[in-house]
Amino acid sequence: MRNVLRKKSGVSAPEGGGEVILGPGVTPPVPKSSYELRILQSIRRIIRAVEIHSHKLAQEHEITGPQLGCLLALAKGGPLTITHLARMVYQSPSTVVGIVDRLADKGLAVRQRGSKDRRLVQVCVTEAGEALIANAPSPLQETLAESLKNLPELEQVSITLALEKVVDMMEARKIEAPPVL
């Protein structure tokens, strides 16, 4: 049930409308640097687009985006350990475990304990997995891939570099300032 509403109902609707008129005291937004805001918003929209695409993939191809990503990494990089695979797809090992589970359930990949070091687990693609890859869609929106190709190369470069710059800034460790001298 979740007892929607009902408690804390002490706050009654002040006035009737569905339309909300902003009150006076609302802080003037101060759009940060404006660029920051637009970048934040773009990132959120990109994340959403990726997830929606993944859901469509799941419906049409029996595989999700992250699963396809791992499968492709395995196909390209040969048998990989969980940790190594996680590093390839930029995800936490604990996340990859679940993805490999589902890949294995579907018979697209298999696990093999290392014979030398029994802690290691080698994951590799099965024939079914390679068959799926053969006529699988792009892990990214087709529309993005197409639109990108139709752009002048100069702009492709520009976009690529801009994204990588954002990555650098986001992943930058905030360790500095030890001596401060």
Partner DNA sequence: CTCAAATAATTCGTATCCGAACAATTAGAA
Partner DNA sequence: TTCTAATTGTTCGGATACGAATTATTTGAG
Q: Which partner from the list its own copies, DNA, none does 178 bind, CB cut-off 5 to 8 Å by kind?
A: none
In total, the chain counts a number of residues equal to 181
The nearest distance, CB 77 to DNA, in angstroms, is 13
> What mask of x and - would describe binding to DNA in positions 37 to 66, judged by CB under 7 A?
----------xx--xx-xx--xx----xxx
Please tell me the distance from the alpha carbon of residue 83 to that of residue 89, in angstroms, as a whole number.
10
Look at residue 160 and give the partner it binds from its own copies, DNA, none, a contact being a CB closer than 5 to 8 Å depending on partner kind.
Answer: its own copies
Question: Identity (one letter) of the amino acid at 129?
Answer: G
Residue 93 contacts which entry, its own copies, DNA, none (Cβ below 5-8 A, type-dependent): DNA
Q: Shortest distance, CB of residue 65 to its own copies, whole angstroms?
A: 10
Choice from 41, 46, 78, 83 touching DNA (CB under 7 A):
83
Kindly write down the DSSP assignment for every residue of 18-31, as one continuous string.
Answer: SS----S-SPP---
Q: Does 138 bind DNA (CB under 7 A)?
A: no
Q: How far apart are CA 10 and CA 167, in angstroms?
A: 46
Count other C-beta atoms under 10 Å from residue 45's C-beta: 10
Taking the complex as a whole, the smallest distance from the CB of residue 121 to DNA amounts, in Å, to 4
Radius of gyration for the alpha carbons in the chain, expressed in angstroms and rounded: 24
End-to-end Cα separation, the chain, in angstroms: 59
Binding residues among 139-178 for DNA as defined by CB under 7 A: none
Q: Which residue from 6, 7, 118, 149 is in contact with DNA, where contact means CB under 7 A?
A: 118
Told to check if 35 binds DNA by CB under 7 A, we report no
Least distance CB 107 / DNA (angstroms)? 14
- In the complex, the smallest distance separating the C-beta of residue 29 from its own copies, rounded to whole angstroms, is 6
Task: Report phi then psi at 31, rounded to 5.
Answer: -65, 45
d(CA 88, CA 80): 10
Among 9, 12, 27, 92, binds DNA (CB under 7 A): 92
For residues 81 and 106, the answer to whether their CB atoms sit within 8 Å is no
